[in-house]
Amino acid sequence: MLDFQSILNTISKVAKEQSDKGSVANYIPELSNIDPNKFGIALLDKNGSLYQAGDSNESFSVQSITKVLLLSMVFSMIGDDLWNRVGVEPSGDPFNHLSLLEMENGIPRNPLINAGAIVVSDILISKLENPKLEFLEYVQRITGDKSIDYDLKVATSEKKTGFRNYAAAYLIKSFGNLQNQVEDVLDFYFLSCSLRMSCEQLVKVFYIFMNRGNCLNNNNYLALSQVKRINAIMLTCGFYDEAGEFAFEVGLPGKSGVGGGIVALLPNKFCVATWSPGLNEKGNSKLGMLALEQLTTETGLSIF
Amino acid sequence: MLDFQSILNTISKVAKEQSDKGSVANYIPELSNIDPNKFGIALLDKNGSLYQAGDSNESFSVQSITKVLLLSMVFSMIGDDLWNRVGVEPSGDPFNHLSLLEMENGIPRNPLINAGAIVVSDILISKLENPKLEFLEYVQRITGDKSIDYDLKVATSEKKTGFRNYAAAYLIKSFGNLQNQVEDVLDFYFLSCSLRMSCEQLVKVFYIFMNRGNCLNNNNYLALSQVKRINAIMLTCGFYDEAGEFAFEVGLPGKSGVGGGIVALLPNKFCVATWSPGLNEKGNSKLGMLALEQLTTETGLSIF
Amino acid sequence: MLDFQSILNTISKVAKEQSDKGSVANYIPELSNIDPNKFGIALLDKNGSLYQAGDSNESFSVQSITKVLLLSMVFSMIGDDLWNRVGVEPSGDPFNHLSLLEMENGIPRNPLINAGAIVVSDILISKLENPKLEFLEYVQRITGDKSIDYDLKVATSEKKTGFRNYAAAYLIKSFGNLQNQVEDVLDFYFLSCSLRMSCEQLVKVFYIFMNRGNCLNNNNYLALSQVKRINAIMLTCGFYDEAGEFAFEVGLPGKSGVGGGIVALLPNKFCVATWSPGLNEKGNSKLGMLALEQLTTETGLSIF
Amino acid sequence: MLDFQSILNTISKVAKEQSDKGSVANYIPELSNIDPNKFGIALLDKNGSLYQAGDSNESFSVQSITKVLLLSMVFSMIGDDLWNRVGVEPSGDPFNHLSLLEMENGIPRNPLINAGAIVVSDILISKLENPKLEFLEYVQRITGDKSIDYDLKVATSEKKTGFRNYAAAYLIKSFGNLQNQVEDVLDFYFLSCSLRMSCEQLVKVFYIFMNRGNCLNNNNYLALSQVKRINAIMLTCGFYDEAGEFAFEVGLPGKSGVGGGIVALLPNKFCVATWSPGLNEKGNSKLGMLALEQLTTETGLSIF
């Protein structure tokens, strides 16, 4: 029997001792003020037992992790029609993100890159009456935690500086794959990325993907086949240009965000979240990557 | 001695008889209503003698031809500092225009592609107090014709549908190569492209590039070395992906626009403008290209 | 308890009834003569129980499936030094395979694309005394089947027509990432791809990847950590531009070949091989993809 | 009246005094031994008057300059059929030369990049009985100089190291745009590039392109329309990624080679050749570029 608490304690201790913690993202000005020494980790097993270490209760900006939740909401609403608007292949290429969009006629590679999440946002805006409120309630509902909220300052900060996202959105629109105004889509998209959660909250929200579509409160919000597919997309596309590396080193479906969070899961076993604001050169949390490698090495658990 | 009038008459007759006149541009809705049977040609020689045939006095939307005038104005104002913001190499690639921008860190290949003209517009906005008025006056001044004006309907139409230009502008801004707001830059850029001129007016405005920087009214607005460089850029970059083809078939510096206009010149000899709204698959006026080929074949005149 | 035999029977029956069987690969002339109506499937569970249906004992050209075996052999020999010569990221891009090599300085994206397998072949040639014989013996040894052999006619056929592989190899060599002569490397590479195996033999050879590095005969030829990493690479990179699609639809690590074979596995549970010569437009066996989707749907088994 | 001799003397003096002479090409080992302090210039006017300064009589490897001569020979033999096999557009892109070939289905952008000259070589091999001899005789004939010869050591050196050219040739062959064996085509191509000439010889061979198709000995070997087109291609494509820059700074059709030679011409006026082995970062002779800028600045002569 694995002693998760002891493993998390060790991982947290090792992480806090690392001298090279990566670099805090500075392209969203509001994110650049965070203390780079923070490190938290939380693990929730299938039975609902929760293990934590370090700054696991401190909330941070989940950023791109929200893309999995946007995907989950839209997939549960429109099903496989989604795949007419966005693909399921890894983007692979560290360069040329806009060029790939150009060559592929405005169909983003997958829903976990910015362009794909922008298309998902566009669909949600078209389908929901009050998208900002309804998406927040969806996240609160599957987590069972009404205290989760947006961070307007971060959303505003990104809106003022996210020129590349504007470029992607306008390019998609030029191909007819965006139905709403770019301003409206990005307004919702930036807000959704500004969600603040702690590691503890993150493992609770991702419990649904680990537990075959059933939340902690036992409600079923997602079909099993949809859960499997979301997990497959996380594995192949969840870590920017480092998706292969993460599958190779860690071997779990997961998603990272430039706020320094990473969440990953072993289907039917556990989900785990880490937070450390310093990023590696590919934009993933440096200590978070190391922590998850250590976790799967020490436990011998991975999907492979 | 060449009988230009007789040559233009023949060219105009041949053009009017062509059955395949290409396709009128429809990506700017306001431009798509034009009669595809129009054909005009005008030639102005160094002595100021003007020759015309067909619909040479009818004005049309000059569109990209304006990029040469934007370049001319900014070059005369800031000189070679311009080349810190934009290059002088042909873009070559029919695909991936945004991708080239990505790979080259937001420095557009040359001032005659959209991205380059957008950067030129940005500089003019920063330098001029009333850029819309001052640019119009500049064009009127070098032409000696105060009747030249913008077409607000066309500008508005492009503003509503020019998503790809928004994408390019935001991408440039993400690299720090745009100092003003995207909306302001494109507002000016779209307006500048909406200039209406006839073939007769076009040869008068391009006289300055044929005549070593001196206008028809003998005022000098451009240094000879700058004229030569603008002509070199027109030759290598003036016809989208067909620049090599135009140099090969026609052998003159020139510039085309999706409104169906083409203007070209033989330094120290003449400038010539054609107008026929139908475009070939590369976006250049189909009959205009044929007319200019015929002109250089019949006269034996080219820079080569 | 799953009745694998009955499931395979159903899958085989459904496959044989499909009217659209895809198109047999014709770029290797010798492969184009195969009967497109062939369909075989074999499944080997962890306990060594073997289930088969259709043409599961008929051997065919495994082609790219051999890349996993080349990778396995080289990885067991030189360990993580391999990753100095080849990456672990999906290639993503359907176009521009040579261009990716150019941009990434001759380091192929991963060992399961042609460029990567060519580099792996180069390493084996440098390390082995008699690479052709030793690789064959390696495959025979982990399968426990000495009847497995190369198909010289197919190898020769590919050698005469595989110009794009020559292009890739020379490009890699121009970056200094190929130590042997291109002719020698491709001679070995084409021969290794010409291995003939039946579905039954394929599941026996891939048993090692399903069973934590231990072969059917219980010998251990690969460290567990290496097995996991090979499985991760198969999942993210095993199906050309359809890797994401296969992870999404099937949810198993696997590898396809243009001979129409596919082999996939669920760690610690089973491995499965299908064969149907007709390919879909991405180059993967059309009926094989459908059969594996059906298998994971009906059994509910996947890594996700 | 221009005093060419005095201008050349000044240019040569200035060049010899430059401290930064660029870097001698080292990718062809045999070329790397050349004295970087060499500088020669020769100018031949339409009347046949020859002016020289510096090391203008010393022969060097003309390398890519030979592409113009291959083009000239094949164009005079098969006319416009050539354009079914190769384009006339600048390649523009400093990266991705093989990628452009991929995207454009094996049709090289123009005959003055390596890929294009390889296709031209393929045509000559198919058309000529003894291509190596006949091409040499063609060059000797239009120059009126039987002493011009290949440098077998340089050709052999390039053959051993020109992996990227092999890659390009195989890629072209994979698209069906190469009819002969890659080895045979490159054998001829590398030999043709190894031609040795002095600046004096180069201006004599390029006299034909300056003088409307007529050689120094008055024989006509090329139609005027073909000369104009070759000049147009030189202007738009003659300087790798610096074609626009050369048109912009110098304003003459021309061609450079990595041996440090540059030849350029003003139609009906003169042709000029420079030699200085040090290259700039774009692969063009550093001092040669400066010398030609100085020449057109001081004489005021350019096609623009």
DSSP string, C169-208: HHHHHHTT---S-HHHHHHHHHHHHT-EE-HHHHHHHHHH
Task: Report pLDDT for D95.
Answer: 45
Distance from CA of A292 to the nearest CA of C (A): 15
- Of the partner residues C88, C92, C251, the one whose CB lies closest to the CB of residue A228: C251
Nearest to A244 among C88, C93, C228 (CB): C88
- Nearest Cα of chain A lies from the Cα of B165 at a distance, in angstroms, of 8
pLDDT of D97 reads 67
Q: Is D251 left (phi over 0), alpha (psi -120 to 50) or beta?
A: left
* pLDDT (tens digit per residue) in A154-212: 999 999 989 999 999 999 999 999 999 999 999 999 999 999 999 999 999 999 999 99
**Active site positions of D, annotated:** 64, 67, 189, 240, 258
CA distance C181 to chain D (A): 11
Q: Are A131 and A186 in contact (CB under 8 A)?
A: no
pLDDT digits (tens, 9 = 90+) for C196-242: 999 999 999 999 999 999 999 888 889 999 999 999 999 999 987 78
Say if the Cβ atoms of C231 and A88 lie within 8 Å: no
Question: Can you give the pTM of this predicted structure?
Answer: 0.93
The CA-CA-CA angle for residues A230, A232, A233, to 5°, reads 65
What is the spatial distance between Cα D53 and Cα D9, in angstroms, rounded to a whole number? Answer: 6
Contacts of A164 in chain B (CB under 8 A): 170-171, 174
| ipTM score assigned to the predicted complex | 0.92
Residue B20 reports pLDDT greater than 70: yes
B171 neighbourhood in chain A, CB within 8 Å:
98, 163-164, 167
Mean predicted confidence (pLDDT) in D239-248: 86
Question: Which of A231, A236, A248 lies at the smallest CB-CB distance from C244?
Answer: A236
Interior CA angle at B221 toward B217 and B227, to 5°?
110
Specify the pLDDT at position C95: 45
Q: CB-hemisphere CA count at 13 Å for A284?
A: 23
Q: Check: CATH 3.90.1150.10 for C4-61+197-299?
A: no
> What's the whole-number average pLDDT of chain B?
93
Residue C19 in this model has a pLDDT that exceeds 60 = yes
CA distance A37 to A23: 11
Which residue in chain D is spatially nearest to B101 when comparing CA positions?
A: D93
C99 pLDDT above the threshold of 90: no
Percent of chain D with pLDDT over 70: 97
Distance of CA A256 to the CA centre of its chain: 5
Contacts of C108 in chain A (CB under 8 A): none
Taking CB atoms and an 8 Å limit, are C229 and A244 in contact across chains?
no
d(CA B10, CA B19): 16
Share of chain A above pLDDT 70, in %: 97
**CB-CB under 8 Å, A182 with B174:** no
CB D112 within 8 A of CB D254: no
Q: Give the mean pLDDT of B207-225.
A: 92
Chain D CB contacts of C91 below 8 Å: none
Contact C98 D95 (CB under 8 A): no
Bridge partners (DSSP) of residue D181 are none
Q: Pick from B233, B236, B245: which is nearest to D88 by CB? A: B245
Helices D114-127, D163-174: axis angle to 10 degrees equals 70
Q: Domain D4-60+198-299 carries which CATH code?
A: 3.40.710.10
**Distance, in angstroms, between C106 CA and closest chain A CA?**
15
**At B126, phi and psi to the nearest 5?**
-70, -30
- Name the DSSP class of A234: H
Number of residues assigned to chain A: 304
Q: Where are the alpha helices (DSSP H) in chain D?
A: 4-17, 66-78, 97-103, 114-127, 131-143, 152-161, 163-174, 182-193, 199-210, 224-237, 243-249, 286-299
* pLDDT surpasses 90 at B195: yes
- Kindly report, residue by residue over D25-71, the tens digit of the pLDDT: 887 787 888 899 999 999 999 999 999 999 999 999 999 999 999 99
Q: Cα–Cα distances in Å, from A204 out to A77, A231, A260, C185?
A: 21, 16, 18, 52
Same CATH fold assignment for domains A4-63+196-299 and A64-193: yes
State which amino acid sits at residue A261.
Answer: G
Among the partner residues B90, B229, B233, nearest to D92 by beta-carbon distance: B90
Let me know if B67 is a catalytic residue. Answer: yes
- Decide: helix, strand or coil at residue B261: strand
In whole angstroms, give the CA distance from residue B247 to residue D174: 31
- All residue ranges of chain A with pLDDT < 50 are 95
pLDDT per residue as tens digits for the range D258-290:
999 999 999 999 999 999 999 998 889 999 999
Instruction: State both tokens at C192.
Output: 């290794």
Pairwise CA distance, residues B295 & D226, whole Å: 17
**pLDDT band at residue D93, thresholds of 50, 70 and 90?**
low
Residue A256: the pLDDT is 95
Query: Chain B: residue nearest A169 by CA?
Result: B167
DSSP secondary structure, C31-78, as one string: GGGS-TT--EEEEEETT--EEEEESTT--EE-GGGHHHHHHHHHHHHH
- In this predicted structure, what is the pLDDT of residue A1? 67
Express each pLDDT in B284-294 by its tens digit. 999 999 999 99
Rounded to the nearest angstrom, the gap between the alpha carbon of residue B78 and the centroid of all alpha carbons in its chain is: 21
Q: What's the rounded Cα separation, in Å, for the pair D226 and C301?
A: 69
Question: B166: distance to nearest CA of chain A, Å?
Answer: 6
Neighbouring subunits of B (3+ Cβ pairs under 8 A): A, D
Task: Give the tens place of pLDDT for each residue, B163-173.
Answer: 999 999 999 99
What mean pLDDT is predicted for residues D10-31? 88
Predicted local distance difference test score (pLDDT) of residue D94: 53
- Pairwise CB contact (< 8 Å): D243 & B100: no
How many A×B Cβ pairs under 8 Å?
A: 62
Helices and strands in chain D, H and E counts: 12, 9
Tell me the C-alpha distance between B97 and B113, whole Å.
Answer: 9
A35 vs B182: CA distance, rounded Å: 34
Say yes or no for a CB contact (<8 Å) between A167 and B163.
no
Q: How many CB contacts within 8 angstroms connect chain A with chain C? A: 108
All residues of chain B having their beta carbon less than 8 Å from the beta carbon of residue A166 are 166-167, 170, 182
DSSP state of B29: G
Lowest mean pLDDT of B110-114, D240-244, D285-289, name the range.
D240-244
Whole-number Å distance between alpha carbons of C47 and C211 = 10
Note whether B304 contacts D302, CB cutoff 8 Å. Answer: no
Rounded CA gap, B237 and B87, in Å? Answer: 11
As beta bridge partners, residue C43 has C51, C272
Q: Which residue has the tokens 């994206």?
A: C109
Q: Is C89 within 8 Å of A267 when comparing Cβ atoms?
A: no
Helix H, strand E, coil C: the string for C95-145 is CCHHHHHHHCCCCCCCCCCHHHHHHHHHHHHHHCCCHHHHHHHHHHHHHCC
In B, which residues are within 8 Å of D233 by CB distance? Answer: 244, 247-248
Q: What pLDDT shows up at residue B93? A: 60
Nearest beta carbon to residue A232 from set C110, C231, C251: C251
Instruction: Give the active site residues of C.
Output: 64, 67, 189, 240, 258
Which of C28, C97, C102, C105 should be substituted to probe chain D, the one whose Cβ sees the most D Cβ atoms within 10 Å? C102
Q: Which chain C residues are closer than 8 Å to A265 by Cβ? A: none
The closest CB to that of B166, out of A95, A164, A170, belongs to A170
Paired with C261 in beta bridges are C275
How many whole angstroms separate alpha carbon D12 and alpha carbon D40? 7
Question: What SS3 class is residue D50?
Answer: strand
Q: How confident is the model at residue B92 (pLDDT cuts 50, 70, 90)?
A: low
Identify all chain A residues contacting C93, using CB atoms and an 8 Å cutoff. 92-93, 100
> Residue B272: beta bridge partners?
B43, B264
- pLDDT greater than 60 at residue D96: no
**Cβ separation of A102 and B97 shorter than 8 Å?**
yes
Residue D135 confidence (pLDDT): 98
* Contacts A168 to B, Cβ<8 Å: 167
Query: Across the interface, do C267 and A227 touch by the CB < 8 Å criterion?
Result: no
Map tokens 């072969």 to a residue: C215
Angstrom distance (rounded) from CA D110 to CA D115: 8
Query: Across-strand partners of A270?
Result: A45, A266
- Report the residue of chain C nearest D182, measured CA to CA: C163
Residues of A with CB under 8 A from a CB of B: 95-99, 101-103, 163-164, 166-171, 173-174, 182
Whether pLDDT at C1 is above 80: no
- If pLDDT is split at 50, 70 and 90, which confidence band does B219 have? confident
Alpha helices in chain A (DSSP H): 4-17, 66-78, 97-103, 114-127, 131-143, 152-161, 163-174, 182-193, 199-210, 224-237, 243-249, 286-299
Residue A95: per-residue pLDDT: 45
pLDDT in tens, C34-58: 899 999 999 999 999 999 999 999 9
C-to-D residue pairs, Cβ atoms closer than 8 angstroms: 63
* Alpha carbon separation from C147 to C137, C141, C218 (Å, rounded): 10, 11, 20
Average pLDDT, chain D: 93
The neighbouring-strand residues paired with A285 are A279
| Option in C229, C242, C303 nearest A303 (CB) | C303
Q: Please, what CATH class does the domain formed by A4-63+196-299 belong to?
A: alpha beta
* SS3 assignment, position C258: coil
**Domain extents for chain A?**
4-63+196-299, 64-193
Interface of A with C (CB under 8 A): 87-93, 95, 100, 103, 109-110, 224-225, 227-229, 231-233, 235-237, 241-245, 247-248, 251, 253, 267, 297, 302-304
Report the pLDDT value the prediction gives residue C91, as an integer from 0 to 100.
78
Q: How would residue B95 be classed by pLDDT, with cut points 50, 70 and 90? A: very low
Cβ A171–B164 below 8 Å, yes or no? yes
* Contact: C304, A227; criterion CB under 8 Å: yes
Q: Which residue has the tokens 């370090």?
A: A54
Please name the CATH architecture into which domain B64-193 falls. 3-Layer(aba) Sandwich (3.40)
Smallest Cβ–Cβ distance between B174 and the set A101, A103, A163 belongs to A163
